[in-house]
Amino acid sequence: MHYKLIIYNRPSSTMSSYKYWGFGLNIISEIPFPELSPVSSFEQAHVNIRMGEMPETPDGISFSTGRISYTMNDQELLFMVQDIGKYYVKEGNTIIIHPDHAGIEKRLLRLFILAAAMAGILQQRRIIPMHTASLLIDGKLTLIAGRSGAGKSTTLAGLMNKQYRIFSDDIVVLANGADNHMHGIASYPMIKLWEQSMQAFEYEDRSFPIMPGMEKYGLFFHEEFDTRPYPINRVILLKLSDDGQFTTERLSGGNAFEAVVEHIYKPSFFNTPDMRVLKFKTITQLLQNTAVYQIARPANCAPDELLSHVTSII
């Protein structure tokens, strides 16, 4: 698998929008998204992204995380990113962006569309996204999750280096298959790696930094990107060990549920009573046909050592 930067030129002046596929949805946008998978046409757009003015703050719950403040209900999300802009997400089909000033870099605007705004779209559509990377192995998906510092990025870089097929990075959308087996849908064809992971496995392409001042880079794989849903049969959870040793444990029952539900993407979006019911049903169904493993690793370990424990499972 080859990972490289792909540049898409702006359409001719007769075209007023860009068409993409991402997160299992047809997306039409006023601004270009090199991160998404372009499509020539589709019958109907599921999501419309455009610039515009913000409405009044909707009724709902309000909370803040870091530099972002949110107000949301079941069908609306308004959030403000300090020094970047405001975003309004409505009824699972509309994203409106209002930059703080004309000089805001489009890459920064897109970063929050691909994260919180799309999470809002999915929440409004009653769809659960998982904060996991994923591999496609023999027609089935292995999800890999871990909190910051657990080693997910380094593991993903090592798996890329060993030519494993990366299905999606960072977000996988859950969907119920016809066979009642939970399936995963890829988000978009970009892998994000920290500088430490880039160095560990000698990746050289740093042409697409995720944001200014952050040593994290995007690697694209548009040519190999697969938009089809696949059944999930394995989840690997990475964590730091308490005793400085490697351990691998297969989780089941309530332990598996509690461990997996922690890795829902933007969990604060899914805390209303209705969303809690949706979480319970979705994760319970996922676990009916999925093996869950937890790997605890020392804080200081060689990347290859962690990788060997992961590959021993897959």
Q: What is the pLDDT of residues 125-157, one digit of tens each?
A: 999 999 999 999 999 999 999 998 888 888 988
Would you give the DSSP letter of residue 270?
Answer: G
The segment(s) of the chain belonging to CATH 3.40.50 are 130-313
Q: Which amino acid is at 312?
A: S
282: left (phi > 0), else alpha (psi -120 to 50), else beta? Answer: alpha
Side-chain half-sphere of 94: how many Cα atoms within 13 Å?
13
DSSP code string of 282-310: HHHHHHHT-EEEEEEE-SS--HHHHHHHH
pTM: 0.91
The CATH architecture that domain 130-313 belongs to is: 3-Layer(aba) Sandwich (3.40)
Q: Is the pLDDT of residue 117 over 90?
A: yes
230-240 and 182-186 as β-strands: parallel, antiparallel, unpaired?
A: antiparallel
Q: Is the pLDDT of residue 4 over 50?
A: no
Please tell me the distance from the alpha carbon of residue 301 to that of residue 165, in angstroms, as a whole number: 24
Q: How far is CA 285 from CA 149, 193, 263, 290, in A?
A: 29, 31, 16, 9
CB distance 72 to 176 below 8 Å: no
